[in-house]
């Protein structure tokens, strides 16, 4: 069935409401728009289902949410876990409460109890709730840091991590089998409540989550000594982080927390930023202004679903420095591992630091420096969660810290997704600890570079929207796969990894060995002089991403090498456009 036939079906089928049909009738003269909305179904990427809100199979709407939930319900029934229930959370985006409600009622209609949060909650709390309640799965309605017109649907399994094989393919297979929209179940809310299949959750889960965060504190003594002196500026970027981040800081004893008022309240329009991404400089404009007014030690911003944290830290000269996700992740990894060693006298023999393949090689150096294992996984925090589950099931491996370059990390194993609330807490704790030593977080960053090496990592993203954009992204990947570079920015390619073909090719010898990781459309080049380049299509946005890293002899040298590498990458991209 082509897109025009699917479009006509939506207009004719009495299953779809009149508001949806009116929206579709309004575009009847725009064939390009009809094609964009119906040429495909939204598919699960690294973060699940994500798309622009609107009517159509390639859009986020109540029908697409119901169908996805019906597929999930069918899979839960197939693996005989209906009795465990499903936890549901949502963020501040447009239609988030409505989508969460539709998912809950679809589950209830399938005889599966839905535990739905009373109001918006962070992604990591949903991950925690799945485990805490013993649920079979979890659903989170969020599009993370995407622009306001987007929303999404993340699915978690019983371990609290986002779905990985075989569950991801199993669920999607069930969704794809639903061809008749009329077979998707739903029911009345009052009936669901009366049947015991719809339960509202809130404060009890909040309290249990906060208790787990507090267990991760290493230096309460430092917080008691400097918590009242440390000045912290925080912004939830109109999302879910405001209440939990402020609560944990207050309960631990951080007395000077200044919230960016213009960005404090939930707002799906995200009026102060073009898109609510803590990676973007604009997200910190208001926070830095406030920081300078109050002379803050650090500035923190969480994305709308509070799983990612952006950071600015002040040096002794009063200048604020931007910490990338690689930098803040390594700063926290170094703090957590070094202080765990100092407190306990040693580290577990099977202690492990986990990172994704596009994350800085500084993590490798830190792991080597402390004599702990370094495990590398595919992009997506769910693969870090998968490793933690593997440790638990095998009894081999002790999780010390895990992070990815995209501003996400996890301390502890109470949840299985990245947690910006625990990261906020830990960075403030680290700031208090270093303050007791007469140091700033920037001092700690420089000391870490001096100890392990001046690594610098960056990313170039090329946005290519629509059908033509998807085709162009595939062309870029095919070109690099068929004609891999032999040199990039003056650095020889030493080996080429193709995660789609499961091969690592040593250029000098021609030797080929497997990657050891699941199939993924990713290319990675190990370069001379500790440099590297990785290319992958985004799993959440219409982009192809070029990640790269260098190692210098100083901050200045690393900056210079990174700039040269970035220019070479752009030249390579332009040659393929």
For 158-315, where are the E strands, in sequence order? 198-201, 231-235, 256-259, 298-302, 309-314
Name the phi and psi angles at 456, rounded to 5: -135, 135
Number of residues that make up the chain? 577
Active-site residue (options: 144, 338, 495, 562): 144
The closest alpha carbon to 168, from 427, 383, 468, belongs to: 383
- Residue 82 CA to residue 568 CA, distance in Å, equals 53
User: Any bridge partners for residue 139, and if so which?
Assistant: 88, 155
Give the DSSP letter of residue 318. Answer: S
Closest CA to 256 of 268, 241, 243, 246: 246
Query: Could you give the 3-state DSSP secondary structure of residue 44?
Result: coil
Residues β-bridged to residue 543 = 463
Residue 48 per-residue DSSP state: B
Cβ distance 512 to 503 under 8 Å?
yes
| Residues β-bridged to residue 527 | 493
E-only strand ranges, 120-259 = 137-141, 150-157, 198-201, 231-235, 256-259
Q: How far apart are CA 311 and CA 424, in angstroms?
A: 9
DSSP-derived 3-state class of residue 371 = coil
Is the four-CA dihedral 371, 377, 380, 382 of positive or negative sign? negative
**How many Å apart are CA 75 and CA 166, to the nearest integer?**
11
Q: What are phi and psi of 529, to 5 degrees?
A: 65, 35
Q: Which residues pair with 496 in a beta bridge?
A: 505, 525
Give yes or no for a contact between 430 and 313, defined as CB atoms under 8 angstroms apart: no
144 as an active site residue: the answer is yes
Cα-based angle 558, 279, 124 (whole degrees, multiple of 5): 120
CA distances from 5 to 57, 292, 522 (A): 12, 58, 35
How far does Cα 287 stand from its chain's mean position?
A: 22
**CB contact set of 353 (below 8 Å; sequence gap of 6+):** 333, 337, 363, 366, 367, 372, 373, 374, 375, 400, 401, 402
Residues acting as catalytic residues: 144
């Amino acid at each position: 069935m082509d897109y025009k036939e699917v479009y006509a079906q939506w207009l004719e089928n009495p299953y779809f409401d009149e508001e949806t049909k009116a929206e579709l009738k309004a575009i009847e003269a725009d064939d390009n728009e009809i094609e964009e909305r119906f040429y495909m179904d939204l598919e699960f990427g690294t973060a699940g289902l994500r798309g622009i809100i609107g009517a159509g199979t390639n859009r986020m709407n109540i029908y697409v949410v119901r169908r996805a939930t019906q597929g999930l319900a069918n899979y839960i029934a197939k693996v005989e876990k209906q009795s465990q229930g499903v936890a549901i959370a949502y963020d501040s985006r447009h239609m988030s409460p409505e989508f969460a409600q539709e998912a809950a009622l679809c589950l209830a209609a399938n005889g599966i109890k839905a535990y739905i949060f009373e109001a918006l909650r962070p992604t990591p709390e949903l991950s925690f709730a799945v485990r805490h309640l013993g649920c079979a799965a979890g659903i989170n309605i969020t599009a993370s840091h995407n622009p306001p017109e987007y929303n999404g649907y993340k699915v978690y399994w019983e371990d609290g991590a986002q779905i990985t094989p075989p569950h991801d393919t199993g669920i999607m297979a069930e969704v794809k089998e639903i061809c008749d929209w009329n077979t998707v179940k739903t029911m009345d809310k009052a009936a669901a409540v009366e049947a015991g299949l719809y339960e509202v959750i809130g404060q009890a889960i909040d309290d249990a989550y906060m208790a787990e965060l507090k267990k991760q504190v290493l230096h309460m003594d430092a917080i008691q000594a400097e918590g009242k002196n440390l000045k912290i500026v925080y912004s939830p970027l109109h999302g879910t982080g405001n209440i939990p981040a402020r609560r944990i800081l207050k309960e631990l004893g951080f007395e000077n927390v200044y919230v960016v008022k213009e960005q404090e309240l939930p707002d799906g329009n995200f009026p102060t930023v073009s898109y609510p991404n803590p990676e973007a400089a604009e997200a910190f404009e208001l926070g830095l202004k406030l920081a300078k007014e109050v002379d803050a030690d650090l500035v923190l911003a969480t994305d709308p679903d509070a799983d990612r944290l952006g950071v600015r830290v002040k040096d002794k000269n009063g200048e604020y420095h931007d910490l990338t996700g690689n930098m803040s992740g390594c700063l926290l990894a170094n703090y957590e591992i070094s202080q765990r060693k100092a407190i306990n006298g040693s580290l577990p023999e099977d202690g492990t630091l986990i990172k994704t393949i596009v994350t800085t090689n500084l993590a490798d150096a830190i792991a080597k420096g402390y004599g702990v294992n370094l495990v590398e996984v595919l992009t997506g925090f769910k693969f870090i969660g998968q490793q933690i589950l593997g440790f638990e099931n095998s009894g081999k491996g002790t999780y010390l810290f895990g992070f990815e370059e995209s501003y996400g990390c996890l301390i502890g194993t109470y949840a299985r997704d990245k947690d910006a609330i625990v990261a906020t807490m830990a960075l403030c704790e680290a700031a208090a600890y270093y303050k007791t030593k007469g140091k700033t977080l920037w001092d700690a960053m420089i000391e870490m570079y001096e100890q392990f090496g001046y690594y610098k990592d960056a990313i170039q993203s090329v946005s290519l929207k629509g059908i033509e954009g998807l085709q162009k992204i595939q062309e870029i990947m095919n070109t690099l796969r068929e004609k891999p570079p032999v040199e990039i920015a003056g650095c020889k390619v030493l080996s080429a990894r193709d995660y789609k073909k499961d091969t690592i090719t040593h250029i000098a010898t021609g030797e080929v060995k497997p990657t050891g990781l699941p199939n993924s459309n990713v290319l990675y080049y190990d370069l001379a002089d500790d440099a590297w380049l990785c290319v992958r299509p985004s799993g959440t946005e219409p982009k192809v991403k070029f990640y790269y890293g260098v190692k210098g002899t100083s901050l200045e040298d690393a900056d210079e090498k990174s700039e040269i590498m970035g220019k070479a990458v752009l030249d390579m991209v332009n040659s393929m456009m």
